[in-house]
A and B are shown apart, each in its own frame.
Chain A
Amino acid sequence: MKREYLLQKSCYHCRPFVHEKNRSCTIFLFLKRIRYDDFAVQNRYEGERGRNGCVNMEIENNKENGKEPECRHFSVISNTWYFTKLFWMYEPIVLFLCGIEIVLAAIMPLIGIYLPKLTIDMITEGVTIQRLMGVLIPFTIGMMLLYGGYSAAEYGKYHLYNMQRTNFMGMLFLKSQRVKYAYEESGKVKNLYWQAQNALSSGDWSASSRFVSDTVGLLRNILCFFLYSTVLSTLNAWMVIALIGISLLNYLVSMYEIRFAEKLRQEKATVQKRYYYVKSVMGNTKAAKDIRLFHMGTWLKSLLNKVIDEQSVLHRKLGDRRTVCEQLTYLLAVIRDVAAYAFLVYQVSEGRIGVSDFVLYFGAVTGFSNFVTNIMGNIASLRDASNMADSFRTYMELAEEDEESGSRHISELSMPLEIEFRDVCFSYEEDVLFDHFNLTIHAGEKLAIVGVNGAGKTTLVKLLCGLYEPDSGEIRINGIDSRSFPKGEWYQLFSAVFQEQLILPFTVGENLSMDCKERLDEKKAWEALEKAGLRSVFEEKGIKMDSFMKKSLSKDGVELSGGQQQRFLLARALYKNAPILILDEPTAALDPIAESEIYDCYQQYSDGKTSVFISHRLASTSFSDRIIMLEHGRVAESGTHEELMQSGGAYAKMYQVQSNYYEKEEGCEDGIESDGQASFEGAY
């Protein structure tokens, strides 16, 4: 793309410092790109792939769904305007600097060709040295200010618009926390989000950066085009027309190259993606054990070499096309130069213009066509940026969830709460998960939900919390339809511990209250920790409410072990102290003793609250009032453990599989049995 090394363009009138300048600026821009590309891709692996090494556990479902918003398409101008407005809103200095840059950058080349003319004029006039100095010294100082000012504007804006890029990224992220949660999980909108994220995260190739740099370039080149036209038309209008003709040919040549690059873009992106993937796998420390024990080195290395070769082939194709186009451009330049020399030499020899004008006009002629080529480059880049920006803009313009409006208020509800699913239908991207589903969770009941992977347990919880909306049917609390409450209040009804344990890299207090530290009730927070059995641990280690968790902001940030983390999340739920408690698979990775302790903890806390507990480990059902066995989105069995065991259905079978070993012991080991009984009595 813009990677042509400017040496190539060392053109006829030699102003190498401009090249050097442009060179360094191109390089400077290019600098951060690679790094971010690299980062962005790697990051997606580490970020999105969750906890299981290289494996992405989600089932991606790309089926069409009419309900979901599509990525809208906006015109280049509309998107440019959109970003201009964003910058105007958040960092108007950037626009101001851009304005300065455009004007100065347009004047600069003119000054470059005017200086020789000025000098020659004075020499041919035979002025004194004093007079020469009197003119050229102020002129030089003017040039210093002009060049310096241009560069100051150009470099000055860089960190500012990058700061805003970070800001846009933050806005995008926050937006994702404002739209319906269902969007975050849906294939399409999630995809849109990642596209938008990529549009911002690829450094100097990101959409927002390119809207700045290429719009500036475009305007500058257009301005130059007109300035040069004006200069040249003072000499001869036909010459301008002829030059525009050549520029049009230049345009065709540029298009020939750009089209080709666009054609290969998809292919290039694929190969690049593969390159980064294989590279990230090789360096992935999580996969390191497997890589060594299965001797994957040769496999991965040969793949890498293959991908690098593929990339080279592609680059060579692009490079060769560029060579052809450049050579065509040079051919046009030959025609232009010969014609310009002929015309100007003729003019001079006829005495119509002076020798100094010759220098000026010749400089103008050779500069002219570069502008057109550059304009084409800018437009192509802007178009590319605009395509990238579409996803960002679409996402930012998604409707936010209405959290305010509702006719009823949760303050009216009397505790504990009764929950009823009435005729709930819900489908997720064409898969019908719940079809006329009915369930009542009685006030103060402790309900356990069991079922195989994919039975819909987690979806049920999401429906209950209001994270998903049923397609039809109602979810009622104390007989009132959930939709009559403002969404924001509805969320307040739940204390939930989900499978994906979220510990934010902020302070302990912020993690407990999940709110800004100014609003932390410290006493309550310590109480919550105490109930969760963590207070003594924290006090022992000297952890305070303003100690940071994780290592992002503090070298000695708090790191919790698996069991402690579970307790901490429980403490968070306790701090919130909402009337409904939901626990989704909290003990999968714990050892038996930690697991058992956590169970005890939850059990204590859930007293007096309506609670829903999901677990693979059927043992947890021991402290539930009722168990439902979920199968393909319906309640297959419901009742107490004893009832379910008696009926001998799916639950009984599942239980048998798990408890097989534990039970057998009883028969043969009498001593153990009595001990076991003792311990079970102790637990209740």
Chain B
Amino acid sequence: MESNLMGKLPLKEHIKNVRKILKVIQEIDSTYFLTTCVVHIANAMIIYINLLLSSYVLNALSAKKEFMTIMSVVLASVMLTFMLHMVASFIWNRLEVRSQKICDLYHCMLEEKMMNMDFSRIDSPEVKELRKRTEQDNNWGAGLHSVFWYSNGFLYSCINITGAIVFGIPVLQYMLQTRSYVIVMILLVLLVVAFVGHKAGAYFKKAEEYFMYHIPTDEEKKEQSDFCWPFAAGFEFHYQNGKDIRIYRSYNLLKSWTIDAIKRKPYRKKTIDAAIGASGGGFCYQAVGGALEGGSYLVVGILAIAGGISVGNVVRLAGCLKNLLLELHGITSNLEKLAIAARRQASTLEMLALEDEMYKGKLPVEKRSDNEYEIEFRDVSFCYPGAEEYALRHFSLKLKIGEKLAIVGMNGSGKTTMIKLLCRLYDPQEGEILLNGVNIKKFKQEEYSRLFSVVFQDFSLFSLMLAQNVAVNVDFDEGKVEKCLEDAGFGERLAGWEQGLVTYLYKDYEDSGVEISGGEGQKIALARAIYKEAPFILLDEPTAALDPLAEYEIYTSFDKIAGNKTAIYISHRLSSCKFCDKIAVFHKGQLVQLGNHDELVADTNGKYYEMWEAQAQYYRKKGMDKAFALT
């Protein structure tokens, strides 16, 4: 499989890519490139003023002009270049700030897109594929920065060439006058050298490009991969895994996949090929530069000998000719690089242009103070995008107001899926979910999801201010945040914090942040759910990592918090069903049993009974023993 960056692309596509990316920049900062042109013009002017000045001084010296006359011109020119430098420097350094900001904003757009797109699409094969492509395309290179560099390089080259032509016109005139075949020959040779150099450079560069952009097949991966980076950076390895490495004496295994892998032949060959490619490409490119520079002096020198150009003009004209040739060289290479840089961004832009798929309803959700909301799943079937098996199949369930429902089932039985459908993170393929008799698709997504407070098993807290984490906003109601934290059982810990609510969690954002344990994190997540004051509370196994006492604490406090709201619990610990009016047993994407504990456990052929037994057997044995012991 080749990466998208390596295949040939018609010129039209390249132009389209460049235009697209420039348009994005234009949208963020409309005057950026206009302003850079001012800098480029100033810089080009400096070059030609200096050229003209040296040629003037040389001519004046040959003509034996007065010292003071010469110096007054020198002084004037030097002052002029100084002014130009001042202007260029000031504007350029400000422009750098602007381009940096544009890049920052641009590079966040992808993340923002991920944040705002339909949840159902995040994990879809299409988006995954696209995301992988954006990653691969940006594997090397500096993202949008390179677009800036090469666009500016191109603009500068264009402006410089204009200067070279304006000030170098006499060279052309001389050339036409002398009609020397030698000069024609030299120019031809230079052209050939440039062409050959370019082609040879491109040939060499191929090897380097292959190294950078080729996406290895599985077979190649096995031969040429090293895990230095993924292990060292904690991608495929957690530092606590060091225990296993020591106990199982696996140092050699790790060594064979890290530094030994680098020494292996296919791996080294790959890198050395790239190095040779880079080296050869660099050689060709710069050798052309040398030829053009020497060639310009040769041409002007011949003209001077044949046509009597003055010494001063030799410097000027050779300078102009050299600039002309080198900048032509520069324009082509900048354009080439710009095309690559823009092509790298194409996948990102494609991603940004993705449209949401889910139906966007317009109906407002009726705000009810009595929380009279009723939810019904009607024959719902759902299959994750890209998956083959249905996660939920012909699923029907009614949730009544104020009801406490527990959902139990094996791993992969569709419990969490049901919660996700309920919150409309996904839309079911078949059947419908109704809120007070209306399909939830018809409601405004934003308003609909306000109905739910959810604590997922893999809840996320951010390394930001505690209060902001609870209120999920920059601004927060202090009293309310405090109360929610207390309700969630976090009050005691909070009291011990000097900075109280404005303490930062963890140290990723703020160095003075406080580390919290898993249990404390769960309490904060719970507080966040309480703060939201939604009529439905959904808990998706929030206690897996806790010890029995902490688990008990959370369960009891939860019962209190839920009050008269509608609540759904998911748990592996069947014991949590105790709180619930009803228990729904899921198996392989279907609702197999529904009822209270007593009813369910009485059905000895049911799934619930099986699971119950699996857990209860241990306790029951002890319970028996205890009964024995007591008698």
Contact = CB atoms under 8 A, between A and B. Distances in A.
A294 B528 contact: yes
Interface stretch (B379-387, B394-402, B454-462, B484-492): B454-462
B482 interface: no
B448 to A, nearest CB: 10
Contact of B86 (A56, A140, A278, A327): A327
Contacts of B528: 294
Interface in A631-655: 641-642, 645-646, 654-655
Interface string A194-234: 00010011000000000000000000000000000000000
Contacts of A311: 100-101, 104
B518 A47 contact: no
A133 B625 contact: no
Interface in A436-459: 451-454
A553 B139 CA distance: 18
25 contacts: A5-B96, A17-B292, A32-B142, A139-B294, A147-B287, A159-B274, A170-B228, A170-B262, A174-B255, A176-B242, A177-B242, A295-B472, A319-B94, A491-B247, A514-B248, A516-B256, A552-B230, A554-B222, A562-B411, A591-B572, A594-B410, A595-B614, A616-B546, A619-B618, A672-B601
Top 3 nearest A-B pairs (CB, nearest first) are: A140-B294, A47-B234, A156-B279
Interface in A132-188: 132-133, 136-137, 139-141, 143-160, 163, 166-167, 169-174, 176-178, 181, 184-185
A679 B613 contact: yes
Interface string A333-352: 11001100110011011000
A339 to B, nearest CB: 10
B344 to A, nearest CB: 11
A36 to B, nearest CB: 10
User: Chain B at the A interface: mostly helix, strand, loop or mixed?
Assistant: helix
A593 B614 contact: yes
A496 B247 contact: yes
A453 B119 contact: no
B518 to A, nearest CB: 5
B242 A159 contact: no
A88 interface: no
Contacts of A316: 94, 97
B622 A645 contact: yes
Contact of B240 (A173, A500, A677): A500
Given A52-B518, A295-B449, A44 B233 contact: yes
A166 B226 contact: yes
B226 A157 contact: no
Given A47-B234, A160-B271, A349-B67, A57 B244 contact: no
B94 A185 contact: no
A408 interface: no
Given A140-B298, A155-B282, 12 more contacts: A7-B156, A14-B50, A16-B323, A173-B232, A277-B508, A278-B509, A279-B108, A311-B100, A319-B93, A341-B70, A345-B67, A657-B552
A548 interface: yes
Contacts of A358: 57-58, 61
Nearest to A57: B518
B202 interface: no
A10 B472 contact: no
B342 interface: no
> Which of B105, B243, B461 has the largest number of chain A CB atoms within 10 A?
B243
A132 B283 contact: no
A6 to B, nearest CB: 10
Interface in A469-515: 488, 491-492, 494-496, 498-500, 502, 504-506, 510, 514-515
Interface string B236-275: 1111111111111111111111110010000010011011
B297 A148 contact: no
B5 interface: no
A311 B456 CA distance: 34
Given A155-B282, A552-B230, A492 B249 contact: yes
A292 B356 CA distance: 14
Contacts of B242: 176-177, 181, 184
B282 A288 contact: no
A507 to B, nearest CB: 9
B285 A173 contact: no
B572 A590 contact: yes
Contacts of A283: 110-111, 114-115
A176 B301 CA distance: 65
A338 B86 CA distance: 17
Contacts of A523: none
A528 to B, nearest CB: 13
> Which of B86, B234, B237, B449 has the largest number of chain A CB atoms within 10 A?
B234
Contacts of A355: 58, 61-62, 311
B96 A622 contact: no
A399 B558 CA distance: 51
B438 to A, nearest CB: 20
A124 B254 CA distance: 71
Contact of A136 (B233, B301, B613): B301
A302 interface: yes
A336 B227 CA distance: 54
Given A116-B297, A157-B275, A338 B93 contact: no
B517 A145 contact: no
Interface string B535-568: 0000000001111111110000000000000000
A456 to B, nearest CB: 13
Interface stretch (B14-22, B302-310, B368-376): B302-310
A654 B243 contact: no
B226 A572 contact: no
A27 interface: yes
B195 interface: no
B149 interface: yes
B259 A171 contact: yes
Interface string A287-316: 111111111111111111000100110011
B611 A591 contact: yes
A311 to B, nearest CB: 6
Nearest to A320: B93
A398 to B, nearest CB: 14
Nearest to A453: B547
Nearest to B59: A355
Given A8-B88, A289-B119, A669 B602 contact: yes
B622 A655 contact: yes
